[in-house]
Amino acid sequence: MIYSKTDFPQKEKENTAFSCDENLKAAEEAYYGEITEKEFRARESRSKIFLFLLVVLACFLSFIFGVSFQKSGLNDALYLMNTVSSGKIPAELRKNKAQTVGKTYKTVYEKYKNEENGENAGFYGGNVIENGDFLYLGEKENTEIEASADINTALSVDGEQLKPVISRNISSYGELSLSNETNYRPDLEKLSQGTPEAFCGVDLSLPTVLVLHTHATESYNESEYDGYYSESVPTRSEDTKKNVVSVGETLCKTLEDFGICTLHDTTLCDKESFVYAYNKSKEIAKNYLDEYPSIKIIIDLHRDSIVAPDGAKTKPVFDYAGEKTAQLMFVVGTDDAGADHGNWEENLRTALYIQKKAEEYCPGLFRKINLRKASFNQQLSGGFLLLECGSCANTRAEAENAVKIFACALARMIKEAQY
């Protein structure tokens, strides 16, 4: 269907280091030198009994209220109680807890394993300035953020097990960034010159963009607890109000709002078979191209999945005008796996062009382009691209924020290329 034009709405402990000065040890030794060994043993015994009763109480409360204590937090509480009851500060508290903060969690990219460096942590933000038909970023800022000390700690609420979500800014940090999983070494500098065929000879009165979903059932994080996800909630859904189709709806509507005639196919290509979904989406794309030869750009909209071995999920996110926004990633196919796709560099050219322009409008929106051996049906058109919008750890709202910005930038590119 072609959408009608409607109004477009405008729009992180203190790292406590329990450090003690050199007088602390001397003070302890002086104190313990004034008491008898019998009294010392009695205090030690009372301390152990007190700690045992405290653990029993903690377990009882956890059972009654269904809330688990974080390991590090419970240890600190026990150390504190031990200090109060015995008058001795445990040696563990003299260690700098900062040594346990900021652990590196190697992530596993379930769908598209690549060479991204997920350790970069920075937000790009700014003020929204309305200028004509488009949204621009004002003064941008770059603020460092660090991982929480307990990002690998699960949580139990009302008997439900929740696992952590790790927020990471994994921006491309450059317009020509590429995660290359092929045997090719494309000249990105050369490919980034000029205007791609997909932006030439566009008739704005006819359908220009097609949005479809090979993996339409991919859905987002629906947990009401910020920073966590529920293992009991599936990461796929046939409900088009919850899965990636709903994000595609927002993308199409925004393009229409900016005068770009857009088609949206909402077929659940992976409903019957995830493996053969690309066969189905290929036929759909071919039928649209036959019926609407004016289509220049095809967006196969997906959402990524980034999960660590311990179950923690990562969401690629940055800040746009105070709003958490998912990050996008182009996946570009080639003929390296044997597909009849000799023109793959034109698809890469299109992705480079869009990403370069979009990063000018909104720094931080895109991750590295992922160049793959498979074709992903992109042999059908030089303007055919696979777009990953966030991951299964992002919220749907964050994904919708991203496609609104993307649509705004894409609409401007299409219009400017005609003059």
234 Rama class: left (phi>0) / alpha (psi -120 to 50) / beta: beta
Which H or E element spans position 143?
strand 141-144
The answer to whether residues 407 and 255 touch, using CB atoms and an 8 Å cutoff, is yes
Can you give the pLDDT at residue 175? 60
Q: Report d(CA 80, CA 334) in Å as an integer.
A: 60
Q: Are 410 and 365 in contact (CB under 8 A)?
A: no
Nearest to 167 by CA among 214, 102, 218, 121: 121
Domain boundaries, the chain: 22-100, 110-416
Pairwise CA distance, residues 73 & 13, whole Å: 12
Confidence (pLDDT) at 78: 45
Within 10 Å of residue 129's Cβ, how many Cβ atoms?
12
Task: Give the orientation angle of helix 71-86 with respect to helix 37-65, to 10 degrees.
Answer: 150
What is the C-alpha to C-alpha distance for residues 202 and 327, in angstroms, rounded to an integer?
28
Handedness of CA 20, 22, 27, 29 (dihedral sign): positive
**pLDDT recorded at residue 226:** 84
Instruction: Check if the beta carbon of residue 281 is closer than 8 Å to that of residue 300.
Output: yes
- 3-class state of residue 197 by DSSP: helix
Buried b (16+ CB within 10 A) or exposed e, 54-67: beeeeeeeeeeeee
CB-based contacts of 355-358 (< 8 A; 24+ apart in sequence): 355/172, 355/175, 355/330, 356/175, 356/176, 356/192, 357/409, 357/412, 357/413, 358/405, 358/406, 358/409, 358/410
pLDDT computed for residue 65 by the predictor: 53
Encode the chain (419 residues) as per-residue pLDDT tens digits.
Answer: 443 333 333 333 333 333 333 443 444 444 444 445 556 566 667 777 877 787 777 766 655 554 444 444 444 444 444 444 444 444 433 333 222 222 222 232 334 333 222 222 222 222 222 222 222 222 222 222 233 333 446 676 767 778 889 999 999 876 677 899 999 999 999 999 999 999 999 999 999 999 999 999 999 999 888 888 988 889 999 999 999 999 999 999 999 999 999 999 999 999 999 889 999 999 999 999 999 999 999 999 999 999 888 788 999 999 999 999 999 999 999 999 999 999 999 999 999 999 999 999 999 999 999 999 999 999 999 999 999 999 999 999 999 999 999 999 999 999 999 88
**Residue of 356, 416, 408, 389 whose CA lies nearest to 129:** 408
Whole-angstrom Cα distance, residue 360 to residue 77? 49
Q: Which helix or strand (DSSP H or E) is residue 318 part of?
A: strand 313-320
279 sits in the region (left: phi over 0; alpha: psi -120 to 50; else beta) called: alpha
Instruction: Work out the number of other CB atoms within 10 angstroms of the CB of residue 200.
Output: 11
376 in Cβ contact with 190 (< 8 Å): no
Contacts of 168 (CB under 8 A, 6+ apart): 118, 120, 121, 314, 315, 316, 317
